[in-house]
Structure 1
């Protein structure tokens, strides 16, 4: 994690993360120190050949049409134990994680987390060098949501 030497960054149990390489900002992530790897909710996973995978990152749970198409190199495939205790084969990819002032290349497993509250889990390997304060959320600040401008009628005299 890039930052000042020996200075620990403290994050809350949930934070807003971005993936600048994929032009994705403000995905709410649950910080999960019990999980070794990180996981991202994606749909329409398709291996494209030449060691690459294509998938859709859903940006808004209620507005399913808001998504980003991503194609990335597969770093590995592995059997991962899911939250229900069952093992499943997953693709892993790498990208840059932006978390407040931190930028770090992390590995992410691609999975359907549609039924989960958080579309992103940040596991221990992504959290090396970071302290987690479980009593707080969003210690690095929440990305401001864009407010739609209210349209006022134009008065003509």
Structure 2
């Protein structure tokens, strides 16, 4: 049975040290994404890494923590305005509805966007059904415990 999710909610990303971050459910987006700054690819001793900071200094949850990983891929993503760009893709975990799920996130500069995280249909498809009238269903459930 699928879980009903509203158009917006809050989620936790424990491996990224983020709690109660605003997420927008976007069935028009294939891949999920998270707002990052200072995204760069590094080659050191013939090994490839990416380094990034989540969010930006203006965001209330910004912690200036830098992440480095060699477990990533790059992907060509077409944005809603039709422009394609290369983005880095990382795998992490999301806690929503008091359950932990694996999720792939593209790292994207979303500074001018209202929501720092988009949940795309690749993540939503097999688990959730969207009710666009509802909001913060997972967050309300979390606060009841």
TM-score bucket (shorter structure): 0.7 to 0.9
Q: Which one has a bigger Cα radius of gyration?
A: 1
Which structure features the higher share of helix residues?
2
The Cα of 1:59 is off from its aligned counterpart by 6.8
2:36 is aligned, of 34, 42, 54, to: 42
Q: Distance in 1 between matches of 2:59 and 2:106?
A: 23
RMSD over aligned Cα, in angstroms?
A: 2.1
Is residue 46 of structure 2 the alignment partner of residue 56 of structure 1?
A: no
Query: Could you tell me the TM-score, scaled by structure 1's length?
Result: 0.78
Q: Distance in 2 between matches of 1:38 and 1:23?
A: 18
Contact (CA 8 Å) 2:56, 2:111: kept in 1 or not?
A: no
Query: Could you tell me the TM-score, scaled by structure 2's length?
Result: 0.84
**Residue ranges of structure 1 left out of the alignment (5+ in a row):** 1-6, 145-157
Contact (CA 8 Å) 1:39, 1:120: kept in 2 or not?
A: yes
1:68-147 to 2 correspondence within 5 Å? 68-127=65-124, 128-141=126-139
**Residue ranges of structure 2 left out of the alignment (5+ in a row):** none
